[in-house]
Amino acid sequence: DVEVDTETGQVKVLKLVCAKDIGRAINPMAVEGQIEGGAQMGLGYALSEEVVVKEGKVMNPNFVDYRLFTSADMPEIENILIESNDPEGPFGAKGIGEMGSSCVAAAVTNAIYDAVGVRLTQAPMTPERVLAALDALEK
């Protein structure tokens, strides 16, 4: 679920549901932590993280200018752990890593489309890009 401010272009993710087939959850709390960490990375990619280069120089080389998502920026997350048996994995487990990061941007852009009817095709989905898409929709 997202909220889109059509005056500023600001996108706020209200809730993120992450359903993952994780094989056997040997340590469910660690699995949830990995999923939430991946979701945080995915939200950063989707909404804020972009290396800006002008004339060969990186314009945002530090964490003041290159905005990472923090725990304070995170929406409500609902994790759904789907357990199956992976005969190839140790004790039936599958690798978890930050697998949640890859699908978040697609989920966010679809939620933006559902909210305001514009399809964004470039990440991050900054307020400027949202406003440009809204302007193009009106023309």
For the stretch 45-86, pLDDT in tens is: 999 999 999 999 999 999 999 988 888 989 999 999 999 988
Cα 64–99–27 angle (5° rounding)?
A: 105
Cβ burial 62-74 (10 Å sphere, 16+ → b, else e) = eeeebbebeeeee
Distance from C-alpha of 114 to C-alpha of 6, rounded to nearest angstrom: 13
Output helix, strand, coil percentages for the chain, rounded to the nearest 5.
Answer: 40, 20, 40
Summarised one tens digit per residue, pLDDT across range 4-34 is 999 999 999 999 999 999 999 999 999 999 9
pLDDT at residue 138 in the model: 86
Domains of the chain with CATH codes: 2-138 (3.30.365.10)
* Active-site choice (3, 49, 83, 98): 98
Q: Is 32 a catalytic residue?
A: no
